Chain A
């Protein structure tokens, strides 16, 4: 039967749950991401972020940069994106970010890597079957220089809802 594959298929779920986030557990996130000029131009123009440091290389050079600067909001979104499968793909709303610092400029061709550490966990009073987790996430370039760090808080599904 051609359709038999659906009945025979074994699911390959992704993501972690509340129970997986013990305080101090560290995740070295997958993939990494080399950011290129196309990424930066597309992101900056789609978000209407009109600072020529991100879109005019002569302007950026006149301000002491070797190339256009990668839009810091793209640096944030990329480091966040790399962390999602480990941290939040298991489900639950993204609640907020605290204490985000942009430590160093990122340039086209730089490769970002991300890691996170569990810093807080508690039960959710309002959402049954969920908890609230805070992670400290850090992004690094290919030289190991930390370019960003922040604390992110999400609602997180429990493995077996009460």
Chain B
């Protein structure tokens, strides 16, 4: 088995056309499993993410999901289509959290190819995506741009 057989064949650099918008296949319902576990794992001490009692008296009424979890889940939901053949994550920008995410909300991811361009290595190019995360009511909860170094099929598969 070669490493090329371990990843998809429709998500190399040559496959990304600016203007294309993708609806990614899977959603994920956010629970304490994701929010509390990851918040505590990374030692984010803000108890609004893990103390239901104190949040009962807040304007939210419940624990809210850490933005770092929302971001990671939305990019994760987009990852098979936009990162499976990535050599490196380069940057993120214009990240916005436009609505709170509660336990029980379901997140879906959408991505647009904003730009493609060369990198400093011949076997990979840089793809810029805009990602959106929406909840079960199609309300946008997350938006952001991401630059990724993606393998060229010409070098990795068709050589």
Inter-chain contact A49/B79, CB cutoff 8 Å = yes
A78 to B41, CA, bound (A): 8
Inter-chain contact A50/B41, CB cutoff 8 Å = no
Min C-beta distance of A65 to chain B, whole Å: 10
Inter-chain contact B68/A43, CB cutoff 8 Å = no
Number of interface residues of A (CB under 8 A): 46
A82 to B67, CA, bound (A): 14
When the two chains form the complex, which single residue of B3, B37, B44, B95 contacts A59, counting CB atoms closer than 8 Å? B3
List the count of A-B residue pairs having beta carbons below 8 Å apart: 128
B33 on interface, CB distance cutoff 8 Å: yes
Q: Which of B14-22, B85-93, B110-118 contacts A (4 or more CB under 8 A)?
A: B85-93
B6 on interface, CB distance cutoff 8 Å: yes
A105 to B72, CA, bound (A): 17
Q: Bits for B40-78, please: 1 = Cβ < 8 Å to A, else 0.
A: 011111111000000000000000001111011101110
Min C-beta distance of B55 to chain A, whole Å: 12
Min C-beta distance of B116 to chain A, whole Å: 19
Inter-chain contact A98/B97, CB cutoff 8 Å = no
Contacts of B94 in A (CB 8 A): 96, 98
Inter-chain contact B6/A101, CB cutoff 8 Å = no
Q: Is the interface of A mostly helix, strand, loop or mixed?
A: mixed
Contacts of A48 in B (CB 8 A): 26, 28, 73, 76-77, 79-80
Q: Determine the residue in chain A with the shortest Cβ distance to B83.
A: A51
Q: Bits for A34-50, please: 1 = Cβ < 8 Å to B, else 0.
A: 00000100111011111
Which of the listed residues A48, A78, A95 has the most CB atoms from chain B within 10 Å of its own CB? A48
Q: Determine the residue in chain A with the shortest Cβ distance to B90.
A: A102
Contacts of A47 in B (CB 8 A): 34, 38, 72-73, 75-76
Inter-chain contact A51/B96, CB cutoff 8 Å = no
Contacts of A73 in B (CB 8 A): 68, 71-72, 75-76, 89
When the two chains form the complex, which single residue of B3, B42, B88 contacts A78, counting CB atoms closer than 8 Å? B42
Which of the listed residues A44, A46, A63, A82 has the most CB atoms from chain B within 10 Å of its own CB? A46
Inter-chain contact B3/A63, CB cutoff 8 Å = yes
Query: Do A46 and B68 contact each other (CB < 8 Å), given the known contacts A51-B79, A84-B46, A96-B94?
Result: no
Inter-chain contact B92/A14, CB cutoff 8 Å = no
* In the complex, chain B residues 84-138 whose Cβ is within 8 Å of any chain A Cβ: 84, 86-97
Q: Which of A1-9, A19-27, A85-93, A118-126 contacts B (4 or more CB under 8 A)?
A: A85-93
Q: What residues make up the interface of A, taking CB atoms closer than 8 Å to B?
A: 14, 31, 33, 39, 42-44, 46-53, 56, 58-59, 62-63, 72-74, 76-78, 80-82, 84-85, 88-89, 91, 93-102, 105, 150
Q: What residues make up the interface of B, taking CB atoms closer than 8 Å to A?
A: 3, 6-7, 26, 28, 33-34, 37-39, 41-48, 66-69, 71-73, 75-77, 79-80, 83-84, 86-97, 144
Known: A44-B76, A47-B34, A85-B45. 16 other contacts (CB 8 A): A42-B41, A46-B38, A53-B86, A74-B72, A77-B66, A78-B43, A81-B42, A81-B43, A82-B43, A88-B46, A94-B67, A94-B97, A95-B96, A98-B93, A99-B93, A100-B95
